[in-house]
Amino acid sequence: QDTDEFILPTGANKTRGRFELAFFTIGGCCMTGAAFGALNGLRLGLKETQNMAWSKPRNVQILNMVTRQGALWANTLGSLALLYSAFGVVIEKTRGAEDDLNTIAAGTMTGMLYKSTGRV
């Protein structure tokens, strides 16, 4: 059969809306940021402690860098994803249309707000 076999409530769409996808976007960005930050923290920790012998203080410093960088990147990417998703939902509800213009506008507004705070 070529038809879908899912049972949908009356009036429900077969595709997810922008609001439903926001949760996946925000969570995915947080997890990606945490993974990237942890790897970056490991790299920085090994670089900063290269003159130390392998011992508990070195391990603790490396672990601190991993957790600190992981949290920093997770917060940053999660915040950007939250802004992007919020702008996207508001624009979609305001315009009443689901198209690529919403995505472009949400990305542009997020970038403008992020850069306006003095971030490089």
pLDDT score of 27 more than 80: yes
Task: Provide the whole-model pTM.
Answer: 0.76
Res. 28 pLDDT band, cuts 50 70 90:
very high
Higher pLDDT: 51 or 77? It is 77
Which tokens belong to 22? 């926001």
Give the chain's largest Cα–Cα span: 66
- CA nearest neighbour of 110 among 77, 75, 73: 77
Query: Domain locations in the chain?
Result: 19-104
Burial of 82 (0-12, 13-18, 19+ CB in 10 A): middle
- Rounded to the nearest integer, the mean pLDDT of the chain is 86
The pLDDT of residue 1: 52
Task: Tell me which residue has tokens 């939250």.
Answer: 82
pLDDT tens column, 105-116: 999 999 999 888
- CA nearest neighbour of 81 among 17, 21, 36, 16: 21
